Amino acid sequence: MISWVMMMMISCRADEVDTTLGFTDLPFNTSYYHLHKPYDLPETQRYSFAGGVHRLWVYATDKPYRRGSPTKPRTELMISQVVVVAVLFVVVTWGSSVNGVVDVLDPTCGFTELPFNTSHYQIHKPFDLPVAQRYSFVDGIHDLWVYSTDKPLYNGSTTHPRSEIKIQGYTYSSGIWQFEGQGYVPKGTNGVCIMQVFGATRRATSLMLRVYNGSLMYYQRAVIVPEIFDRWFRLNVIHDVEAAALEVYVDGVLLLVVADHGGKSHYFKFGVYGQNNMSDCMESRWKGIRVLYKNVT
C-alpha cells in the first residue's frame, strides 16, 4: 500500500506542467493594485505585506467596503489595470447559504432615487432617420434597434450605428451614482454595447457592457453572464467616482468590480451601439429605468 501511494505521488509530480509557458509576465507593483477593506478602518488593521507575502483578513462583524453598502465585509486587492474576474467567486462564496443558494442583494439600499422622465433622456439614432424608425416606447418598455448598414449618429462620423438613450440632466463628476434597469436582449443580437458609463481619460468610456455570442461581457475582455438572450434581467451599475471604481450587479448578484478609466465628467447610456463583429440587426429592450445617488458626506 505504501509503495502504491509513493508511486502515485511520483506519477503526479511527473505530470506537473508549467501553466505559464507561452505567457508574458507583466509588470506588477503597488501602482497596479488598490486595497478594498472595511470603510471605517485603516489599511494596517486588515492588511499587511511582509517578506513578499500579502496577508488579508476580515471579520464577519466588520463594516462593508462603502458606507451604506449591503455587501458583506471584505479585504481584497483589486488589480486596477485589469478586470477582476475572480471577484465572482468571492461573491458566490460569501453569498451562499448552507443549501448552496446565492443570496440576492438590493444594490439600491442607501441610495436616493432621482426623478426620471422624458425630460431626462435624449435618443441617439442614425442621423438620417426619425426617432420612430429606431425607437418605440409601449407599455413602459423602451425598444431600441439598429441595423449594421445604418448611418452613424452624425453625418460624416466614423462611429458605428446606434440607437441609444443618453440620460441627460445627471452628468456627474463626483459622488456615488447608480443606474438600474431591466434589460432584454433578443437572440441573434451580437457585437453590440447595451449599456455604458460615458466619460474617461484617453478614451470615450469608463465602462461598456457588450453582448457577444449570447454572453454579457465587460468590453470584450471578460464574460459577466454567459447566457443573456431572451430573458429579462435586472442590471445595476454603481460608479464611485472618488474610489475610481465600478460595480456591476445582475439580478442582485455582484459579478464585476473594475477600476474606471478616469475622466472629469460622466453619464449613463443604454440601448444598442454597434461594435466589432456586429450582427445585421441589433436590439435591446428596457424597463424600470432608475437613476440613483448616494450622499456619503
**pLDDT-based confidence at residue 206 (cuts at 50, 70, 90):** very high
* Averaged pLDDT, 171-183: 97
Consecutive H or E run containing 15? helix 2-15
Q: Which of 2-11, 83-92, 93-102, 183-192 has the largest mean confidence?
A: 183-192
Q: What length is written for the chain? A: 297
Q: Domains along the chain?
A: 32-81 (no CATH), 112-294 (2.60.120.200)
> DSSP letter at 161?
P
- Of 98-112, 173-187, 217-231, the least confident: 98-112
pLDDT tens digits for range 8-55: 444 445 566 777 776 766 656 665 566 888 988 988 889 988 877 898
Dihedrals φ, ψ of 32, to 5°?
A: -100, -5
Output the pLDDT for position 102. Answer: 55
Enter the pTM of the model: 0.70
The dihedral region occupied by 288, where left means phi > 0, alpha psi between -120 and 50, and beta the remainder, is left
Tens digits of per-residue pLDDT, 49-76? 887 789 898 999 999 887 777 788 999 9
Band (119; pLDDT cuts 50, 70, 90): very high
The answer for residues whose C-beta is within 8 angstroms of residue 215's C-beta and 6 or more apart is 223, 224, 225, 226, 227, 228
pLDDT band at 232 (very low <50, low <70, confident <90, very high): very high
Percent of the chain whose predicted confidence (pLDDT) is above 70: 81
Lowest mean pLDDT among 7-21, 79-93, 154-168, 264-278: 79-93
Q: Residue 89: pLDDT band by 50, 70, 90 thresholds?
A: very low
Q: Which residues contact 166 (CB under 8 A, 6 or more apart)?
A: 121, 122, 123, 124, 198, 267, 268, 269
* Joined grid coordinates for residue 181: 434597469
Which residues 6+ apart lie within 8 Å of 183 measured at CB? 194, 195, 232, 233, 235, 270, 284, 285, 286
Reported as a single tens digit per residue, the pLDDT across 136-153 is 999 999 999 999 999 999
Q: What is the mean pLDDT of residues 209-221?
A: 96
Q: Please count the helices (runs of H) and the strands (runs of E) in the chain.
A: 2, 19
Q: According to the model, what pLDDT value does residue 32 have? A: 57
